[in-house]
Structure 1
Amino acid sequence: MPLPSRQFLLLIIVLMLFRCVPAQAQCATGQTPSTAFPICGYDTFHMATVPACSGRNLPVPTCAGDGAAYGDLNAFWYKFTCYTAGTLGFLIDPVEATDDYDWQLYDITGANPDDVYTNPALIVTGNWAGTYDKTGASATGVTHIECASIPSDNRPTFSSMPTLIQGHIYLLMISHFTVTNQSGYSLSFGGGTAGITDPLLPHLANGEYYCNTQTVRLKLNKKVKCSSLATDGSDFTLNTPGINIVSATGIGCNNGFDLDSIVLTLNQRLPPGNYSLVIQNGSDANTLLDYCDRDIPAGEHVDFSVSAPALVYIDSIKPLPCAPDSLQIVFTQPIDCATIAADGSDFTITGPMPVGIIGAKGSCTSNNTDNTITLYFDKRLTTAGTYTVVIGTGTDGNGISSQCGQYILAGDNTRSFIIPPQPVSLLKRVTPVTCRVQKIRVALTRKVQCGSVATNGSDFTITGPTTITITRAESICSNNLTDSIDLYFNAPVLTAGAYQVNVQTGTDGNTLLTECWQETPVGNTIRFATSDTVNANFTYQLFLHCTIDSVVLSHNGANGVNQWNWYYDGNDSSKLQNPVKVYKVFGTKNIKLVVSNGVCSDSSTRQVVLTNVLKAAFSIQPDTLCPNDQALYINESYGNIIRYEWTFGNGNISAQHTPPGQTYAVPTVREQLYYVKLVVQSEVNCYDTVIHPIHVLNSCYIAVPTGFTPNNDGLNDYLYPLNGFTTSQMDFKVFNRLGQMVFHTTRPDGKWNGVFNGEAQPPGAYVWMFSYTEAKSGKHFFLKGTSVLIR
């Protein structure tokens, strides 16, 4: 269904108002504010084509809120200055009448050109109408900035002429919104009263010669077009035969359109004298042209003088490090690097240590000059004293020359410098000297270079009572320096003696070198001593008795042992050489000895067995007998036992390890107590005795007494099931007359003392319930009754 005509029109408007397109091409020179074309006010500027250029958004405050995006799409920028205040009129005339051009004028005085993208205050006026064909500023134009529109609106494309301020700088942006072609336009000025044409005619201002670069720097009175300069230098000539200008370079032309300074390069250096530089029509058929193509008259000239070059001397020698392998000579004038012999033959050095110069180099600039020359030596200067640098004639056939051609004659220039004395590093001490030493650390009086330490240890030898071979050397380095060296041996040193570490030249061709390259003297020595190894093995003698045992301990004290530490089962200790340890408890004992001679130490542990341990022990099953029950005896004695003697209390005895079971007569009282005794004898005639009681009952009938008297007289003080020990899984409960449970136990020996919740209960009858399983038969019973508490 087609859209109504009004809606269709609104859609077209929205599409036309979106005036910026996605990035499509990189902008060329003149298509950004910072590369704007400088223009002349009375000229017509023709732009044949408009290359595609992606646009950046531009603020247009008077059109804010209309939904359009404004930018410098496919734009060119033009720059000019107002020399006479007044109004500005101009015409943009497209090649294609159907093209749509927009424009905006900015006052960028004191501002960065790129500020046009962010600062609306720079806007003077503009026109963004979507109407085709001519546009610009005229006396009949609208007084406001025309906003974006569609062609059918036929909006005015001319704005009123803006008023320019004298001395201000302006940018004019012309945007080609039509993207179907790249046809150009012409830009002309007229109709206004402002003057944008510079009234100043171009002229030469002055010239100055630079001997170091063989160039003349020419200054003009105003900017001229870079395109009018012949780069082959043919726009100029010197009044001196044989000296030619070989090139001309406009300062600022690499990134711009105009220049007011030119560098002219000559074919040779100018000798002292007066010179005249004359402008002429060059190979491009003109002299130099300003924006309005007004030229500097041919034959105009500037004069300049060239003075004799200053004499050059050695100014100084830069500060030297210790043991330098090069030095830097500073001259009073820059030196022409081309005159420096690369092999250093322009210089010699004399002094207490012979040294050759193997190279010379200047840190040459783009002008091939430098006031500092670096000399490189064939060896480091390590001998203290005064040295002298002498300038001569090098293998290149000349001496060295200043940038302006002033040669230093051989022998004319010398400079002395001093190498101060530097200390060497000596052996300081040896640490640590341990037992069975297989590595020592040699400390030094000064740090040495890690790279000067031979890793195979060949910088050192060790002499002494036994042969010690060094297998390697290691250093702990920081910034490639160390003050100690670890020497490793092929085997540990086991015997005492005095040894000596000696310095020698290693397989790397040197001894130890300090940071200033000073060698440790061959033959420098330091001593250290070792100690004998020790042995903690010990002997002992046992003296066994029935109540105490004595262990006599002994160590031979060989190899200078002067410290003994005995440890007995971790409980006590002794520091005697030959102590006596007394034990009252026998068995296996652990005795440890640690010995030392102050350097070496050793330890030894031995088990000492005191075999006369003797213990009489047995248990009875059961220890309470019912009538006709039999008691069995389990022998738990230990030691080197040779005889047992049992007495059972029933008139029977036994000498067996495990005696036969015993029965006892039924007593006439409720319970009869008997005593069973065991005596054991050891192989060293020691004795031990143990006695256990056994209870014999006249009845094992299970019952609960009918009453009890809890008065603590020792008679009938508790209520409990009699003979409960013959039951299993018993449960006994007692209740008062209110039905409250006042006692409960599941233990065969559990008894109620007549107390509940800490208070003695009143006299009276109490109900009990008793359930149990008979141990022998396994039968279950439940009893219930009453007992009287009597107080």
Structure 2
Amino acid sequence: MTTVPSCAGRTMPVPGCGAGYTDVNAFWYKFTCYSTGTVGFLIQPGSSMDDYDWQLFDITNATSPDEVYTNAALVVTGNWAGTYGNTGASASGVSHIECGSIPADNKPTFSAMPTLLEGHHYLLMISHFTVTNQSGYTISFSGGTASITDPNLPHLQAGNYYCPTKTIRIKLNKEVKCASLATNGSDFTLNVPGINIVSAAGVNCNQGFDMDSLVLGLNQQLPPGNYRVTIKKGTDANTLLDYCDRDIPEGEHIDFTVDPPALVYIDSLKPLPCAPDSIQMVFTLPIDCATIAPDGSDFTVTGPSAVTVTGARANCSFNNADNTVTLYLDKRILTGGTYTVSIVTGSDGNSVATECGQYILAGNNSISFTLEQQYPATLRKVLPITCRTEKIRVVLSQPVQCNSVATNGSDFVINGPEAISITRAEFTCNGTGQFTDTIDLFFNRPVLTEGNYTVSARTGSDGNTLLTSCWQPTPVGNSTPFSTKDTVSADFTYQLFLHCELDTVALFHDGAHGVNSWAWYYDGKTDSSKQQNPVKIYSRFGTKSITLVVSNGVCTDTMEKQVVLSNVLEAAFHPVSDTLCPGVAAEFVNESIGNIVGQQWVFGNGNTSSLYTPPRQNYLVPNTRQQLYHVQLIVQSNMNCFDTATYRLFVLNSCFIAVPTGFTPNGDGRNDFLYPLNAFMMSKLDFKVYNRYGQMVYQTTSTFGKWDGKFKGEAQPPGAYAWMLTYTEKKTGQTFSEKGTSVLIR
């Protein structure tokens, strides 16, 4: 052995040595004992630094050779000494199995020669423990008394012919040396002129040293008949030799018969898709690839539609033959019905034949298949159109292949009152096969007017119309209609009818472009109308916001306008001061709005005025603390409408700031409260009232604050109460601080 195999080890039992032993890089020898006795052998490593171990097994009664890894009872002997150099079995070896060790231990590497039993079968395992090199080893058997060589003389036993490989297999009565076989086949002759043995190979000689069978290769097929193979000395100067170099006598022969090959025919077809572009035929026997015309002319396909076979192929990787032949068609079969595949004489001058030379005669064999009729996808509808249509969505009757849709939209054309060009097509692919049943077509411009259109299918720039999963093309011209709507305008007009108390706005919309829905909104409120031409009445005048939303069912528009009700009239004024001190004249500011053409002031002091800004008015000093006057302004508009505003004016008999010395909170409306008089002339007022215990019973910072004689809701007893007052005089800005007492009288 010049090399040893490199392979992982499997654990095996080694009696007396414990666990952990494996067949590292092992080579196995099998032999049989033909005469009981001892056996000796020598293993010599190619390198003195190689460590070889070995173990012998008796596998006579083993059910499987793999039992050597589990059944310790099969072990006969062995040696695992782990020492470099020679090892084996000899008369001077130890009588036990030497266990593993490091080479420095120098343990015995030879075991005693084991006794072999006649008729028993043995396995010898040689393991190369050190694998740093591949120098190999030699093994020789000597020194024992057992016979492990078959005593029978070698002879030819049987032969048979295998037509697929054009070979003759020879069976021997015993194993012979592989090296004694001439690989050019010169050890044998065949009794047929013109058919020659061109090679010879021993069975399993690529893995071992001996063989009991061999294969002779021929230069051509053997026709049916009786044949004889005779052995002779080949170019290697011998016939076949056993281990003892005993040869098979020259002239020894075997006879065999080649029967007519079995008939072959088309057995079946492999399942076909709905639109096949190839057909796979299964034959009862492998077909010789050399007899298949590559252009497919050995076959024809006939049926409802014209089909041409353009090629034929088989998997010729094994023996140049295959049971399955694939026919390639010039196009997919799209028409349903029954078709027939027939065998004819091809362009190579023959039909097809088996690997054993059995031809199928032209016209003698055919097979039929049926395809269901498939239907194309049609343009079913266009989804609802939007206003200012810039694209449409076409819905198909069934999904189509995404790669059959031209993305530039050229699979479609649109006809109608206006020229519309399709600029692109978009779609979403679903499923493993990538299909879609809706396609969006985009236009070069929006469609603004009402019209009836048709979208039709045509052959796109990709050379086809839409294709279903079964490759059915959408017919050119197949179409579906759709309609567009005009854009609409919500612009409206109105007419005003103005009056003193109520204004009327008459609203108008022309209803053009198919408008059939109106929604009016007034001042953004829910107050609305769905009439085409409603009337809105206002009781308050001024600028009003009116919004209209119109629709024709597809298009919508919104318009908002400001409507001015110009007859607003409102009398309004205010006095510079609503409280007058003695000798101070009253001034009035006119704040009236509207188209005023006249006004009339009535001051309550006997005076009137028709001026927009009236003169100052003087009032008599009253005898009582204050006198109330009602001042009135009446305004007139250009539409002869009138409005009146009235203001109360108080005239005081004194403007001195003071706190009364007493008050009577009895509810008679006279002197019921305690508070600083003329507080309207103060700012930053702070008024506090204390009882005789110094407890504050009232406080206010309002100029309108007044004490009612109660504390925490309970009426306080009569008596004197102290008060403190701080304030700033509005006119001068001077700050004052005063205090005193007042009597609560009940």
TM norm. shorter chain > 0.5: yes
Secondary structure class of the residue paired with 1:311: coil
Amino acid at match of 1:393: T
* CA pair 777-330 structure 1, distance change in 2 beyond 3 A: same
Map residues 720-739 of structure 1 onto 2, 5 A cutoff: 722-731=677-686
Pairing of 1:106-505 with structure 2 (within 5 A): 151=104, 156=107, 171-176=125-130, 208-216=160-168, 232=184, 238=190, 240-247=192-199, 264-275=216-227, 297=248, 304-383=256-335, 386-418=338-370, 420-423=372-375, 428-432=380-384, 443-445=395-397, 466-471=417-422, 474=425, 476=427, 478=429, 479=433, 483=437
Deviation at 1:614, TM superposition (A): 2.2
Does structure 1 residue 556 correspond to structure 2 residue 531? no
| Shift in CA distance, 730/270, structure 1 to aligned 2, threshold 3 Å | farther
Q: 1:606 to 1:128 in 2, by over 3 A?
A: same
For residues 400 and 528 of structure 1, what CA distance do their matches in structure 2 show? 59
Of the three residues 492, 495, 519, the one matched with 1:538 is 492
- Greater CA drift, 163-172 or 391-400: 163-172
Kindly indicate whether residue 545 of structure 2 is the aligned counterpart of residue 590 of structure 1.
Answer: yes
Aligned match of 1:639:
594
In structure 2, the partner of 1:686 is: 641
The residue aligned with 2:28 is 79
User: Whole-Å Cα distance in 1 between the matches of residues 179 and 698 of structure 2?
Assistant: 126
Distance of 1:756 and 1:124 partners within structure 2: 127
Cα distance in 2 for partners of 1:530, 1:596 equals: 14
Asked if the contact 1:565/1:593 (under 8 Å) is kept, the reply is yes
Residues 125 and 510 (structure 1), Cα distance of their counterparts in 2 relative to 1, 3 Å cut: closer
* Cα displacement string for residues 35-66 of structure 1 (whole angstroms, at most 9, x for unaligned residues): x9xxxxxxxxxxxxxxxxxxx9x9999899xx
How far apart, CA to CA, are the structure 2 residues paired with 1:159 and 1:653?
155
Structure 2 Cα separation of the partners of residues 380 and 511 of structure 1: 15
Q: Decide whether the 8 Å contact of 1:448 with 1:482 is kept in 2.
A: yes
Q: Name the structure 2 match of 1:566.
A: 520
Instruction: State whether residues 731 and 745 of structure 1, in contact with CA within 8 Å, keep that contact through their aligned partners in structure 2.
Output: yes
CA distance in 2, matches of 1:762, 1:734: 14
* Higher mean displacement: 421-430 or 217-226: 217-226
Question: Which residue is equivalent to 2:566?
Answer: 611
Deviation by residue 1:550-595 (Cα, 9 ceiling, x = unmatched)? 1122233445544433332333222333322111121222323344
Is the 1:281–1:298 Cα contact (8 Å) retained in structure 2? no
Native 8 Å contact 2:519 2:528 kept in 1: yes
Q: 3-state SS of the aligned residue for 2:290?
A: helix
State which drifts further: 706-715 or 269-278: 706-715
How many angstroms apart in 1 are the aligned matches of 2:84 and 2:249? 47
Secondary structure of the corresponding residue to residue 412 of structure 1: coil
Distance change >3 Å, CA 143–CA 708, structure 1 → 2: farther
Distance 1:302 1:653 in 2: 160
Identity of aligned residues (%): 56
Distance 1:76 1:215 in 2: 36
CA distance in structure 2 between the partners assigned to 1:331 and 1:381 by the alignment: 23
- Displacement of 1:610 in angstroms is 1.0
For residues 80-127 of structure 1, the C-alpha deviation after alignment (integer angstroms, 9 at most, x for no partner) is: 569789999987777888x594858698989998998x9999999998
Count of residues paired in the alignment:
729
- SS in structure 2 at match of 1:212: helix
Letter aligned with residue 544 of structure 2: K
Other structure's SS at 2:567 match: coil
C-alpha change, 1:125 and 1:642, in structure 2 (3 Å) is farther
Q: Cα gap change, 1:332/1:681 in structure 2, threshold over 3 Å: closer, same or farther?
A: same
AA at the equivalent of 1:32: C
Give a deviation string over 1:473-501, Cα, whole Å, max 9, x none.
Answer: 74646456555566666666666666666
Residues 52 and 126 in structure 2, CA contact (< 8 A), matched pair in contact too: no
Superposition pairs of residues 1-40 of structure 1, within 5 angstroms = 29-33=4-8
Q: Cα–Cα, structure 1 residues 207 and 470, in superposed 2: closer, same or farther, change >3 Å?
A: farther
Instruction: Give the TM-score normalised by structure 2.
Output: 0.75
CA separation in 1, counterparts of 2:664 and 2:16?
Answer: 117
- Quick one: structure 1 residues 240 and 715, their matched pair in 2 at CA, closer, same or farther if it must change by over 3 Å? farther
| TM-fit CA distance, 1:340 | 1.2
Quote the Cα distance in structure 1 between the aligned partners of 2:490 and 2:507.
12
Could you tell me how far 1:334 is from its partner in structure 2?
1.7
**In 2, are the aligned partners of 1:72 and 1:175 still within 8 Å (CA)?**
no
- Provide closer, same or farther for how the CA distance between residues 209 and 147 of structure 1 changes in structure 2, counting only shifts above 3 A: closer
| Cα 1:773–1:113 shift into 2, 3 Å | farther
Q: Distance in 1 between matches of 2:122 and 2:692?
A: 124
For 2:522 and 2:483, how far apart are their aligned partners in 1?
35
Give 1:565's aligned amino acid.
A
TM-score by length of 1: 0.71
In 2: Cα distance, 1:110 partner to 1:703 partner: 136
Q: Residue 469 of structure 1 contacts residue 489 of structure 1 at CA under 8 Å; is this kept in 2?
A: yes
Higher mean alpha-carbon deviation, 520-529 vs 327-336, is at 520-529
Q: Check whether the contact 1:287–1:295 (CA below 8 A) recurs between aligned residues.
A: no
Q: CA–CA distance in 1 between the matches of 2:65 and 2:571?
A: 115
Q: Is the 8 A contact 1:80 1:196 kept in 2?
A: no
- Aligned-residue offset at 1:337: 1.2
Which residue is 2:536 aligned to?
581
CA contact (8 A) 1:534 1:596 kept: yes
- The answer to whether the 8 Å contact 1:549/1:583 transfers is yes
Aligned-pair Cα RMSD in Å: 5.6
Q: What are the superposed Cα offsets for residues 727-762 of structure 1, whole Å, 9 maximum, x if unpaired?
A: 444555666777776655544445555666676677
Task: State the Cα deviation string for residues 336-394 of structure 1 (Å, max 9, x = none).
Answer: 11111111222334445444332222233422212232223334444555544443222
CA distance in 2, matches of 1:620, 1:196: 151
Structure 1 residues 259 and 82, CA gap change in structure 2 (3 angstroms): closer
How far apart, CA to CA, are the structure 2 residues paired with 1:380 and 1:259? Answer: 55
Structure 2 letter corresponding to 1:537: D
Task: Tell me how far 1:639 sits from its aligned partner.
Answer: 2.7
Contact 1:206 1:218 in 2 (8 A): yes
Distance in 1 of aligned mates of 2:38 and 2:660: 140
- Letter paired with 2:346: G
1:662-709: per-residue Cα shift (whole Å, max 9, x none)? 676655444443434333332222222222334445555555666666
| Residue 6 (structure 1) aligns with | none
Amino acid at match of 2:327: L
Q: Take 2:588 and 2:77, find their aligned partners in 1: how far apart are those partners? A: 129
SS at match of 1:547: coil
Question: For the Cα contact (< 8 Å) 2:412–2:455, is it kept in 1?
Answer: yes
Which segment drifts farther, 377-386 or 483-492? 483-492
